[in-house]
With several copies, the nearest count.
Chain A
Amino acid sequence: MVKIEFLGPIGKESIELDVKNLKDVAKELNKDENISIWLEKSAVALNDMIVNSLDIELKDGDKISILPPVCGG
């Protein structure tokens, strides 16, 4: 199982998914319209590292974070 966290204004509780790679996570998340509208402008982190490809295998216990547009300061 991998854990998906939705950060900041997405305002959704974390979920757990039984998936093998990041592509599968993307596929699952796009099924929910309340999430998919955030995805086009959100960055993705795997275990707190920003990733730039979906071709990444996942292992049990991995944490994926969805980071919507930011504005610090």
Chain B
Amino acid sequence: MEIRFQFYLLFAVDDMVEIYKGPLDVKDIISRWLDECDGRNWGAFIPFIGIVRQEDGIEALSFDIYEPILLKWFQEWQDKAQKKGAIVKMAHSLGDVPIFTSSYIAAVMSPKRRVALELIDEFVEDFKANAPIWKYDVIDGKRIYAQTRSTAMDGAGLMSKKD
């Protein structure tokens, strides 16, 4: 990907979760994560790279993140991965991410192929369903909550009148 943006790392936790302001520098992130693999005897490394698609006239996506719960959610996955001898990593954007740039990278490193393939699938799907991140379409400079594409988290509705 041609680099047309500056990349800002906001924070990284234990080299596992990286949050950036704006789009991700995919090549730099993948390259560093590959360096971490070196000599560690992983047999499989699978990154999932999410790229903002041009659709419905959007110029960008935009994200809010609630870090404290994101980090707890991530730590549970790290523990789950560790029991299988693997590790997980992730990078995500905060704020605006223009079309054709990346907002999300998840990755698994594992000694075994099967473990890695199953883990990346479960990790990415649970991320979509339960990581405390909110997505907005940016159209004509306005930020519109992506309501129809959003998923109620596990346990949602606890405080609803209906209960």
CA distance A26 to B157 in the complex (A): 11
Option from B136, B146, B153 in Cβ contact (under 8 Å) with A67: B153
Within 8 A of B (CB), among A56-73: 65-73
Give the shortest distance, in Å, between A48 (CB) and chain B (any CB). Answer: 4
**A8–B128 contact, CB under 8 A?**
no
CA distance A41 to B163 in the complex (A): 12
Give the shortest distance, in Å, between A46 (CB) and chain B (any CB). Answer: 11
**A72–B72 contact, CB under 8 A?**
no
Report which residue of A22, A54, A68 has the largest number of chain B beta carbons within 10 angstroms of its beta carbon. A68
Collect the chain A residues with CB atoms within 8 Å of residue B145's CB.
8-9
**B160–A39 contact, CB under 8 A?**
yes
**B158–A43 contact, CB under 8 A?**
yes
- Is B134 an interface residue when CB atoms closer than 8 A count as contact? yes
**B159–A26 contact, CB under 8 A?**
yes
Classify chain A's interface size: 20 to 34
Give the shortest distance, in Å, between A70 (CB) and chain B (any CB). Answer: 6
**Chain B contact residues: helix, strand, loop or mixed:** mixed
Interface residues on chain B, number (Cβ under 8 Å): 40
B150 closest partner in A (C-beta): A69
**A42–B152 contact, CB under 8 A?**
yes
**A50–B155 contact, CB under 8 A?**
yes
**A36–B134 contact, CB under 8 A?**
no
CA distance A39 to B18 in the complex (A): 30
Option from B72, B127, B162 in Cβ contact (under 8 Å) with A40: B162
CA distance A44 to B161 in the complex (A): 14
**A71–B161 contact, CB under 8 A?**
no
Report which residue of B104, B128, B145 has the largest number of chain A beta carbons within 10 angstroms of its beta carbon. B145
Give the shortest distance, in Å, between A11 (CB) and chain B (any CB). Answer: 9
A-to-B contact residues, CB < 8 Å? 7-9, 22, 25-26, 29-30, 36, 39-45, 48-54, 65-73
B-to-A contact residues, CB < 8 Å? 50, 63-64, 66, 68-69, 72, 92, 103-104, 113, 124, 127-136, 145-147, 149-163
